[in-house]
Amino acid sequence: MAYMLVILEDPAQRATRTRPEGEAVYRRMVEFADTLQRQDKLLAVESLASQDKATRVQVRGGQAQLLDGPFAEAKEMIGGFFLLDCASREEALAIARRCPAAEWATVEVRETAPCYL
């Protein structure tokens, strides 16, 4: 089964690190991904740029509405994700507990499924 680990972080937390601290955190995440790859668990992984560079799109009544970030109402942003191939929810949760991002952010575990479920 496919599970996604969604990294939910405080939008301001990245600015609290120096460049070397940020690079060290990123290296830990890359090492975590490399481990998952060697275990044949990793289907996809990406780190996302800050929401300052994001644009939200909504179409209402046939009209597109665009809203550029940052988004003042956002209490958290998606910082990245890991898409995993796991035998069970328990295995996905065990992997999430080992994710370095769980130390400074929230790691949400979600099973993939059609949107009507």
Q: What is the pLDDT along the chain (117 residues), one digit of tens a residue?
A: 999 999 999 988 888 999 999 999 999 999 999 999 999 999 999 999 988 889 999 999 999 999 998 887 778 999 999 999 999 999 999 999 999 999 999 999 999 999 887
9 token code pair: 């972080």
Tell me which DSSP letter residue 70 carries: P
Is-contact 46 81, C-beta < 8 A? yes
Per the CB < 8 A criterion, the answer to whether 93 and 20 are in contact is: no
Supply the pLDDT for residue 11.
85
- Cα dihedral value 70, 74, 75, 80, nearest 10: -70
Q: How far apart are CA 15 and CA 8, in angstroms?
A: 15
What domains sit in the chain, N to C, each tagged with a CATH number?
Answer: 2-111 (3.30.70.1060)
The pLDDT, as a whole number, for residue 47 is 94
Question: Within its chain, how far is the Cα of 104 from the centroid?
Answer: 12
CA atoms of 97 and 109, how far apart (whole Å)? 10
Per-residue pLDDT at 38: 98
Q: What is the pLDDT of residue 69?
A: 85
Tell me the one-letter amino acid at 2: A
pLDDT for the residue numbered 95: 98
Confidence (pTM) = 0.88
